[in-house]
């Protein structure tokens, strides 16, 4: 495991330590004291040197800031290691493309942990939505408050810097995309605090909107996601408690193992989809800066 923070310990670490098909070899973190404490808590070994850890394993699970993840994961892929990555994949399109190319060149397995995509109720809901078809529009609203005292993410520098767009925007895209198709353009506007509003175009005239914030008043915390069209209106299952999230990570590990055992099989939430999500987030960031609609870079830009 790469990472020693709250999410690393209570989700990635707890999942890996309890998974019947995983030999949890060790932990590396930029703070060795934290790595040692995490390793002790999870019953594994702390590594001083990241390359020694990479050489000792078949696969890595990542719970570090996305810019740190992108650099380490690229090195690991180049050395033939399978990757269970966090969202967003990176915070720049070039970094995402570099990692995507490294994974493709090495032929290793990759899964990006878009949490909701590995929760059984959401998986069933998505299957049903795709079967019904006829969807014209979707709407996601995710409102959180993570910077209050006592919140485990309150000290997250990258979340404070990049805001809700990059932290919870991937969750919205991970559900809207498989229903409505790829995002072809985006218009973004700012709200209060870090709030961002997105208007997105999809193929064949479909569209979606998203409202994202990490800084709403505590009384306003909540969220919903739904799609509508000729098939009616269908609302996705909502938020999930920590044990369900750990179980979802275990399902992501299952997907990584299956992919590693069947090279070339791929996965809907692999590094390629992760890179497409980064392209949309970067386009939204450009729209915020320019005040204009921004076309999303074509997939061929990663080649």
153 shares its domain with 216: yes
- Report yes or no on 257 lying in a domain: yes
Considering the domain boundaries, does residue 106 fall inside one? Answer: yes
Domain around 177: 117-237+276-302
User: CATH number, domain at 30?
Assistant: 3.40.50.720
Distance separating alpha carbons of residues 285 and 131, to the nearest angstrom: 33
Residues 61-72 pLDDT 10s: 999 999 999 999
CA 271 to chain centre: 10
pLDDT given for residue 232 in this prediction: 96
Q: How far apart are CA 160 and CA 180, in angstroms?
A: 30
Q: Domain with 132 in it: what CATH number?
A: 3.30.360.10
| Rounded (5°) CA angle 224-230-231 | 60
Looking at the structure, do residues 131 and 65 belong to the same domain, yes or no? no
In a shared domain, residues 79 and 173: no
Instruction: Give domain status of residue 124, yes or no.
Output: yes
Indicate if 212 and 225 belong to the same structural domain. Answer: yes
User: In this structure, are 105 and 127 located in the same domain?
Assistant: no
**Burial class of 244 by CB neighbour count within 10 A (0 to 12, 13 to 18, 19+):** middle
Q: How high is the pLDDT of residue 298?
A: 67
**In this structure, is residue 174 part of a structural domain?**
yes
pLDDT in tens, 16-66: 999 999 999 999 999 999 999 999 999 999 999 999 999 999 999 999 999
Same-domain pairing of 227 and 200: yes
In a domain, 22, yes or no: yes
- Strands 135-143 and 207-213 turn out to be parallel
Say if residue 226 is in the same domain as residue 291: yes
Q: Look at residue 231 in the predicted model and tell me its pLDDT.
A: 87
pTM: 0.96
How many percent of the chain have pLDDT more than 90? 95
For residue 1, is it within any domain?
no
Q: Check whether residue 68 and residue 157 sit in a common domain.
A: no
Same domain, 111 and 121: no
Does 265 lie in the same domain as 233? no
Same domain, 284 and 151: yes
pLDDT at position 301 is: 44
- Taking residue 290's Cβ as centre, other Cβ atoms within 10 Å add up to 10
Whether 153 and 280 share a structural domain: yes
Number of independent structural domains in the chain: 2
pLDDT tens for 162-193 read 999 999 999 999 999 999 999 999 999 999 99
Task: Please write the tens of the pLDDT for every residue from 260-288.
Answer: 999 889 999 999 999 999 999 999 999 99
What confidence category does residue 299 fall into, taking pLDDT thresholds of 50, 70 and 90? low
Q: 229 pLDDT exceeds 90?
A: yes
């Amino acid at each position: 495991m790469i990472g020693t923070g709250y999410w690393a310990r209570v989700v990635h670490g707890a999942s890996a330590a309890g998974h019947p098909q995983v030999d949890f070899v060790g932990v590396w973190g930029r703070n060795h004291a934290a790595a040692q404490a995490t390793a002790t808590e999870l019953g594994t070994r702390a590594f001083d040197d990241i390359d020694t850890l990479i050489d000792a394993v078949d696969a890595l699970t990542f719970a570090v800031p996305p810019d740190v993840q992108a650099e380490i994961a690229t090195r690991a892929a180049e050395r033939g290691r399978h990757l269970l990555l966090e969202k967003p994949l990176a915070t720049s399109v070039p970094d995402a493309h570099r990692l995507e190319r490294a994974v493709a060149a090495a032929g290793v397995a990759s899964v990006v942990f878009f949490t909701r995509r590995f929760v059984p109720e959401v998986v069933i809901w998505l299957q049903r939505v795709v079967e019904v078809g006829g969807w014209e529009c979707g709407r996601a609203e995710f409102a959180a408050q993570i910077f209050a005292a006592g919140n485990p993410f309150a000290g997250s520098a990258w979340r404070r810097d990049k805001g809700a767009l990059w932290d919870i925007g991937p969750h919205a895209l991970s559900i809207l995309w498989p229903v409505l198709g790829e995002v072809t353009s985006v218009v973004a506007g700012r709200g209060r605090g870090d709030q961002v509003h997105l208007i997105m175009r999809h193929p064949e005239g479909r569209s979606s909107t998203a409202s994202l914030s990490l800084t709403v008043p505590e009384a306003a915390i909540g969220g919903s996601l739904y799609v509508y069209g000729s098939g009616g209106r269908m609302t996705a299952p909502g938020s999930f408690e920590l044990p369900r999230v750990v179980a979802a990570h275990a399902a992501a590990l299952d997907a990584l193992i299956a992919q590693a055992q069947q090279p070339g099989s791929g996965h809907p939430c692999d590094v390629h989809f992760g890179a497409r999500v980064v392209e949309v987030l970067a386009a939204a960031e450009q729209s915020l800066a320019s005040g204009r609609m921004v076309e999303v870079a074509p997939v061929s830009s990663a080649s």
